[in-house]
Amino acid sequence: MQKMTLSEIQYIFETLFDAYGPQGWWPAYTPFEIAVGAILVQNTMWRNVKISIKNLEKIGLLEPYRMYVTSNEKLAAAIKPSGFPRLKAERLRNFLHFFSEFSFDFEEMNKYDTETLRKLLLKVNGIGKETADSLLLYIFKRPVFILDAYTKRFFSRLFSKEAMKTFEKEKIVNALKDAKEMGEFHALIVQHSKAHCRSKPICSGCPLRKVCEFGSELHE
């Protein structure tokens, strides 16, 4: 795979979907929980985020207003398992302050077009490109592609350096049907990465082996 064309991207999506089935991301019960998880998972394993979210739920803080008015100490203590507790408590608070301007109602925020909303989210200290895109995709169902550690690794292993230089998120967006597919695609890449291509030098059972077999270095 050298060029990363529209049909190549579609082939990859279909192959992963056939192999793993629908993933139903983001794993959360409420949109607010998605936002909390997206901040807590920054440079952190999801497993540890789950513990933090469970802690928050246990002490009744998994609710916007309650979290907004609680002390930094309580908040930091609850989210300790997911790392950077003081930093992330501050980031959650920054987001909640922003959220309060919409009366803690995601529907109020949903009125903006995608580019405007993205810019608004990026103004919050602690929300960068990846977190903003996660919220856009999984809370607001906007058709965006999330470039995170998994997807960067995935595409740079699959495509040549040349192709990666001209990598644009728009290419992915154009290749897929809607936000639902984009949400699935991202989740499928994560699922696939966990199942394959991490430590094994050869992926005999890899559903993508047909497109990977051109160069052994692609699988490291």
Partner DNA sequence: ACCCAGGTGGCCC
Partner DNA sequence: GGGCCACATGGG
Which residue, 20 or 84, has its beta carbon nearer to DNA?
A: 84
71 binds DNA (CB under 7 A): no
Q: Which residue has the tokens 């608070």?
A: 93
Six token digits for residue 205: 């059972």
Least Cα distance to 2 among 151, 113, 165 occurs for 165
Six token digits for residue 57: 């739920």
Question: What is the C-alpha to C-alpha distance for residues 91 and 32, in angstroms, rounded to an integer?
Answer: 14
Q: How far is the CB of 1 from DNA (least distance, A)?
A: 22
> Applying CB under 7 A, which of residues 11, 17, 68, 150 lies at the interface with DNA?
150
169 binds DNA (CB under 7 A): no
Q: Considering only 53-61, 102-110, 125-133, 171-179, which stretch makes contact with DNA by CB under 7 A?
A: 125-133
177 binds DNA (CB under 7 A): no
> Applying CB under 7 A, which of residues 148, 154, 158, 208 lies at the interface with DNA?
148
Q: How far is the CB of 144 from DNA (least distance, A)?
A: 13
What's 81's DSSP letter?
G
Which residue, 7 or 199, has its beta carbon nearer to DNA?
A: 199
Q: How far is the CB of 195 from DNA (least distance, A)?
A: 13
> Applying CB under 7 A, which of residues 35, 42, 175, 188 lies at the interface with DNA?
42
Q: Which residue has the tokens 């394993």?
A: 45
- Burial of 132 per CB tally in 10 Å (0-12, 13-18, 19+): buried
Q: Are 139 and 110 in contact (CB under 8 A)?
A: no
209 binds DNA (CB under 7 A): no
Question: What is the C-alpha to C-alpha distance for residues 30 and 174, in angstroms, rounded to an integer?
Answer: 28
31 binds DNA (CB under 7 A): no
Region of residue 45 (left: phi > 0; alpha: psi -120 to 50; beta: else): beta
Residues at the contact surface with DNA, assessed by CB under 7 A: 25-27, 38, 41-48, 80-81, 83-88, 122, 124-132, 134, 148-150, 186, 190
